[in-house]
Chain A
């Protein structure tokens, strides 16, 4: 079968894709902020001495790391409203699923970062009369976060790719909009190729950026 590539319908509908890309960026911004920010909180709690904080955060991490993110999104969309009576729209379901998943993954990254700091640093903080939280905030975290920056940026890239899952609950993002164009113009090849290229165009420079970042950090260590 001979296929002639024709991107005319894609170009004519660029606004549709643009709206989708905006949706993707909004979900990404919300989930990456909540996920990486909340992950820090959970990661610190996982390292806490009191079991009251440590055990629930451990359970949280295990549950959300060991279930597929699509199951989480769908659970929040269809099951959560029945349980709580709270209405959940596609945006909220996607944000809940992806950011809780990201929180669990990044919590482990933060924990590894905190644990990688030699105990002498804690002792030094204590010797200066700093409280646990002061040492954590002023001494440990700044060094730890620098070390785990590459792992965190990788998570960010994963989150950007995960945002396509929002299309499963019909949230208006890039892939969902491409599906719309494909259905109306009978051009799945061009539509889905365009989406693949859009993601590649956004993420390829981002990935190269993380490589450069990694190299710079290795030199400064």
Chain B
């Protein structure tokens, strides 16, 4: 077996385009997924039993079904149910926004619940409403504690976006499949792509470890 990277190198721009698309899907899924996760967490923590149960069901449903099944459902099934033109891009964004929001909701909930009850009482004592206490007192502290879990989840999301290649969205994985078929060099193509993912994700992991240590030093973190 002889390694020959020539074919990969001449078409490297195709892989870079895929990488950009991978980052695009991840970024957009975060953009929609995080606020949606916060909403779900607040609903789940709500005093109204019915609202809380409904939010809990949505969260559990999206956490316990495989992301690939969700992606297929949004891509193949949803357009029949409601009259929309579904593209691989939209299906990918919708799936990963909702899927990651279920996980972010649990991170938000953990963060909010970790805040001492006295903080709520303090807010109430100086006349703040629930929403005001949440926004001004509880969330700022909770978010700081959530950062490590949040970063870990975002890295998981980045890895999971490889699934979008199965509905033919041109992410890095899809470009790799394409290039491997065109060049008859699957060994080199997939190895290079694995290395690209590794470099990106390893760098992000190291960054998140560094941030975790910083937070641990400044106190008020769940990491000891």
| A interface residue numbers (CB < 8 A to B) | 1, 3, 62-63, 65-72, 74-75, 78-79, 82-83, 85, 157, 161-165, 167-168, 175, 178-179, 182, 188-189, 191-193, 195-196, 199-200, 203-204, 206-207
Complex contacts, B187 vs chain A, CB 8 Å: 78-79, 82-83
Q: Are A71 and B173 in contact (CB under 8 A)?
A: yes
Give the CA-CA distance A1 to B190 in the complex, in Å: 42
> Is B131's CB within 8 Å of the partner chain A?
no
Q: Are B60 and A79 in contact (CB under 8 A)?
A: no
Q: Are A75 and B194 in contact (CB under 8 A)?
A: yes
Q: Which of A79, A85, A165 contacts B191 (CB 8 A)?
A: A79
Give the CA-CA distance A164 to B137 in the complex, in Å: 42
Q: Are B162 and A83 in contact (CB under 8 A)?
A: no
* Interface footprint category on B: 35 or more
Give the CA-CA distance A75 to B197 in the complex, in Å: 13
| Nearest 9 pairs of A and B residues by beta carbon | A188-B76, A203-B64, A78-B186, A68-B159, A189-B77, A161-B66, A164-B66, A70-B162, A66-B201
Complex contacts, A165 vs chain B, CB 8 Å: 68, 163
Stretch at the interface among B5-13, B31-39, B79-87, B139-147: B79-87
Complex contacts, B1 vs chain A, CB 8 Å: 82-83, 85
Complex contacts, B60 vs chain A, CB 8 Å: 204, 207
Q: Which of B63, B70, B162, B190 contacts A79 (CB 8 A)?
A: B190
Q: Which of B61, B66, B77, B198 contacts A63 (CB 8 A)?
A: B198
Complex contacts, A164 vs chain B, CB 8 Å: 66, 68-69
Q: Which of A67, A79, A175 contacts B66 (CB 8 A)?
A: A175
Give the CA-CA distance A191 to B69 in the complex, in Å: 10
Complex contacts, B66 vs chain A, CB 8 Å: 161-164, 175, 199
Q: Are A207 and B194 in contact (CB under 8 A)?
A: no
Complex contacts, B76 vs chain A, CB 8 Å: 182, 188-189, 192
Looking at the assembled complex, report how far the CB atom of B113 sits from the nearest CB atom of chain A, in whole angstroms: 15
Q: Are A68 and B191 in contact (CB under 8 A)?
A: no
Complex contacts, B194 vs chain A, CB 8 Å: 67, 71-72, 75
Contact code string B169-188 (vs A, CB < 8 Å = 1, else 0):
00001001100100000110
Q: Which chain A residue lies CB-closest to B166?
A: A168
Complex contacts, B72 vs chain A, CB 8 Å: 175, 178-179, 188, 192, 195
Q: Which of A82, A192, A200 contacts B186 (CB 8 A)?
A: A82
Instruction: Knowing A75-B191, A196-B70 are in contact, say whether A188-B80 is a contact too (CB < 8 A).
Output: yes
Give the CA-CA distance A196 to B72 in the complex, in Å: 10
Looking at the assembled complex, report how far the CB atom of A15 sits from the nearest CB atom of chain B, in whole angstroms: 20
Q: Which of B160, B163, B190, B197 contacts A78 (CB 8 A)?
A: B190
Give the CA-CA distance A167 to B187 in the complex, in Å: 21
Give the CA-CA distance A1 to B70 in the complex, in Å: 21
Looking at the assembled complex, report how far the CB atom of A151 sits from the nearest CB atom of chain B, in whole angstroms: 13
Give the CA-CA distance A141 to B181 in the complex, in Å: 47
Looking at the assembled complex, report how far the CB atom of B106 sits from the nearest CB atom of chain A, in whole angstroms: 11
Residue from A69, A175, A178, A192 whose CB has the most chain B CB atoms within 10 Å: A192
Complex contacts, A62 vs chain B, CB 8 Å: 202
Give the CA-CA distance A178 to B76 in the complex, in Å: 12
Q: Are A79 and B65 in contact (CB under 8 A)?
A: no
Beyond A1-B80, A161-B67, A178-B72, 10 additional contacts (C-beta under 8 Å) are A63-B198, A65-B205, A67-B197, A70-B165, A71-B197, A161-B64, A189-B81, A192-B73, A192-B77, A203-B64
Give the CA-CA distance A162 to B156 in the complex, in Å: 13
Q: Are A66 and B69 in contact (CB under 8 A)?
A: no
Q: Which of B61, B83, B173 contacts A1 (CB 8 A)?
A: B83
Looking at the assembled complex, report how far the CB atom of B86 sits from the nearest CB atom of chain A, in whole angstroms: 11
Give the CA-CA distance A65 to B163 in the complex, in Å: 17
Q: Are A193 and B77 in contact (CB under 8 A)?
A: yes
> Is B193's CB within 8 Å of the partner chain A?
yes
Complex contacts, B64 vs chain A, CB 8 Å: 157, 161, 199-200, 203-204, 206-207
